[in-house]
Amino acid sequence: MIDVEIKDATTLIEKEEITEFSFPKGDVLSDEAKKQERQARIKRGTRLGNGQKRKVKIIFEDSEGMKKVETTIWGFTDKNVILKKTTIIPIRCIHEIKFY
C-alpha cells in the first residue's frame, strides 16, 4: 500500500534538476531490512547501468517532497548514488529503486 502512495505523490523530474535540490539530513528509511534492500538495489542498478546501459527509476525525497527520476546509475559511494555528469543523490534520501 505504501508503494501506491509513493507513486502517486512523486514528481517526475529530469536528472539535470537534481543539482538544484537540497536534501534532508536524516535517512528516509527507518527499517534496517529496507536499508539493506535499498543498498542491494543500488548495486544491481549500477551493474545494469554500466554493463547494459539500462535505466532505473529512483524514487527519492528532497526538502520539498517526493521526486522520481529515470536514469542510469554510474556508480555509488558509501553515502551517494552517482549519475551522469557527477550528479549525486544522497543514499539516505532514496526510498526505492525500480527496474524496467
HEC-encoded secondary structure of 36-79: HHHHHHHHHHHHHHHHHCCCEEEEEEECCEEEEEEECCCEECCC
For residue 80, give the C-alpha cell.
Answer: 551517494
- The model's pLDDT over 15-63, given as tens digits with 9 standing for 90+, comes to 999 999 999 999 999 999 999 999 999 999 999 998 898 999 999 999 9
**pTM recorded for the entire structure:** 0.88
Please choose, from the candidates 89, 93, 77, 81, the residue with its C-alpha nearest in 3D space to the C-alpha of residue 29: 93
Say whether pLDDT at 82 is over 80. yes
The ranges assigned to domains in the chain are: 2-99
Fill in the DSSP letter of residue 22: -
Closest C-alpha among 68, 70, 89 to residue 80 = 89
Q: How high is the mean pLDDT of the chain?
A: 90
